[in-house]
Chains A and B, each alone.
Chain A
Amino acid sequence: MNLRDLSIGTKLILAITVVMVGVSTAGSIIIYTYQKRSLDEQILERSRTISELLIQIEDHKLISRVAAEFTKVTGYRLKQTSLEPVNPANAPDDFERKIMEMFKQKNITEYYAVVASSGGKRHFRYMRALRTKEQCISCHPGYSIGELRGSISVVAPYEDIAAAARKNLVYILATLQILTFSIIAVLYSLSRKIVSKPLKELIKEVEGSAKEIQRGEEVKDISVRSNDEIGMLASAFNNLRKSLSESFKRKNEAIESFVYSISHDLKAPLRSIEGFSTALLEDYGDRLEGEAKHYLDRVIASAQKMGVLIDELLEYSRIGRIDLARGDVNIAEVVALALEDSIYEINKKNAKIKISENLPVIKNAEKQRIYQIFTNLISNALKYNDKEVPEIEIGYRDEGDHYLFYVRDNGIGFDMRYHDKIFEIFQRLHREDEYGGTGVGLAMVKKIVETYGGRIWAESKPGEGSTFYFTLPKEVKSG
């Protein structure tokens, strides 16, 4: 798993967990060490005090009693020992002997250490050197001042204290970790509330408006719910979208004026070519010999065709870019208009037209565009038809949120291999002298249908006619 794939909340919690666990562990260890040291100091202080006290007592019997009493109260064993003991009970053990040797060599008063005994148990051991003092000389002549007489040895149980400290450590650790995890839990729910949830909502809204933009719908501002960074992000997104849409609008206007002036500037010379060729033909036609007249006709025809081509390209470039008047479009009315357009062809070819009854109404559509769909498909159905009686059938089917329309003919059809090609701009399946045209019609139909969120396709067999299908939503989304 990659750290980058985690959500911000999880990352935060992970970081906080690591820091908190580290801090609480370090804290526990520090507290433990401090506690242990103060316990050690306490034992040392006790040992030192009792030793000091014993030294001050001159009555030997009293010493034994005080020691016994102290042992009873504290559990510390007290012992007087010497390198040359008079009483065998006072004979030193290995540790005591070693320390006393040291006392003898160096002028130190006390020594302490934690020592493990043969049984494996640890003891705090304290040794206090007993040296000859001035007042001793009176009773023990022959001693010299400062000479080591022996030691007071204190053996304090240490195991219990260490165990207590360890137990303490466990308590501290447990308390701190519980605290840590409850803080993390609180932070987690807070981070969800403060960071994750608003961020997720923001992401959802942004994705929603991305979809609206993609579908060409009107985009509402994203709600700014707070004045923090997330709120700022939402406003920043709104500003970004606004400036993008403004720049898109400006670009679109620039394209439109460019396309318009291009088409105008391209067509103005065409008017002259056609005009002067016509003038030449009209004024000097009878003086032109051989092919000359025919050539002039070709010039005029080409100029006219280029004019049509420029118009169609201009129109093609405007689909989906320039919003025409919208409203309820009655398909029956549009089909009638489109047939009116082809009335000359229909009469000439003696074509039979069959139209479904109750053709529906498309809401919020551009009548001009819907008309362009039908007029192109109908004129194609007539054009690519060499039957004695061309038949054209126009119908539809209700498919829930959209209608499926079809324009069927009994014309020359086409090989389904070329299915995608016929919808491409400037792609034609026939030579121009067979069937005239610019190759823009079906591309334009496809672009309109797709701009409205529909689909278009055809089914055909050479010689058996074609059916063009397309879908249109019952209500077109505003763009």
Chain B
Amino acid sequence: MNMVRAIDILLVEDSQDDIELTLRAFKKNNLGNRVHIARDGAEALEFLKRVERREIPHPGLILLDLKLPKVDGIEVLKYIKSKEILKRIPVVMLTTSKNDRDIKTCYDLGANSYIVKPISFKDFMETVKNIQLYWIVTNQPPVVG
């Protein structure tokens, strides 16, 4: 197994419940990643611009909800994939939308994964665990330069 990389995660999510449950799942997996939280699209863009200005470290994974207040998840995704510094960060869409058009749009825009939030708590915990294990442990990202 690969080494656990001490990377930061950006969680873009407007539901306080989902944030807390996701954080709890992360904590249970005990991988020790730092998690940044953006409560809407505008906050996410704000964060990403600071990353571009190298004021904060580059996140190694972005979990992005689609339906967000102020700026939509699609807009955030477009922004990430259009910026040289950000475009190689793996973006995992984590949303309630099963809509086929949403899924296609996200992949067209370069999303690295699309996951429909499981509705049951158990499945949700399992999914978050799988995301973390796969994208942080298994997956090999390019070296940030």
Residues on A lying within 8 angstroms of B by beta carbon are 260, 264, 267-272, 274-276, 278-279, 303-304, 307
Contacts and interface: CB of A to CB of B under 8 A. Distances in A.
B15 A268 contact: yes
B104 interface: no
- Top 10 nearest A-B pairs (CB, nearest first) are A274-B121, A272-B17, A275-B121, A267-B119, A275-B21, A271-B121, A264-B96, A307-B120, A279-B24, A271-B124
Contacts of A274: 120-122
Contacts, number: 38
A278 B119 contact: no
B96 A278 contact: no
Contacts of B121: 270-271, 274-275, 278, 303
A267 B98 CA distance: 15
A272 B125 CA distance: 12
B119 A268 contact: yes
For B21, B98, B121, B122, the residue with the greatest tally of chain A CB atoms inside 10 Å of its CB is: B121
A278 B119 CA distance: 15
9 contacts: A264-B119, A272-B17, A274-B121, A274-B122, A275-B21, A275-B124, A275-B125, A276-B17, A307-B120
- Where chain A touches its partner, the secondary structure class is helix
Contacts of B120: 271, 274, 304, 307
Interface of B: 15, 17, 20-21, 24, 96, 98, 119-122, 124-125
Contacts of A267: 119
A274 to B, nearest CB: 4
A271 B21 contact: yes
Nearest to A269: B17
Contacts of B124: 271, 275
Given A271-B21, A271-B119, 10 more contacts: A264-B96, A268-B15, A269-B17, A271-B121, A272-B17, A272-B21, A274-B121, A276-B20, A278-B121, A307-B120
Contacts of B24: 275, 279
B96 A268 contact: yes
B30 to A, nearest CB: 14
Contacts of B125: 275
A304 B122 CA distance: 10
Contacts of B119: 264, 267-268, 270-271, 307
Nearest to B118: A271
A274 B124 CA distance: 11
A100 B75 CA distance: 125
Nearest to B22: A275
For B120, B122, B124, the residue with the greatest tally of chain A CB atoms inside 10 Å of its CB is: B120
B51 to A, nearest CB: 30
Contacts of A264: 96, 119
B18 to A, nearest CB: 8
A268 B17 CA distance: 9
For A272, A275, A307, the residue with the greatest tally of chain B CB atoms inside 10 Å of its CB is: A275
A399 to B, nearest CB: 40
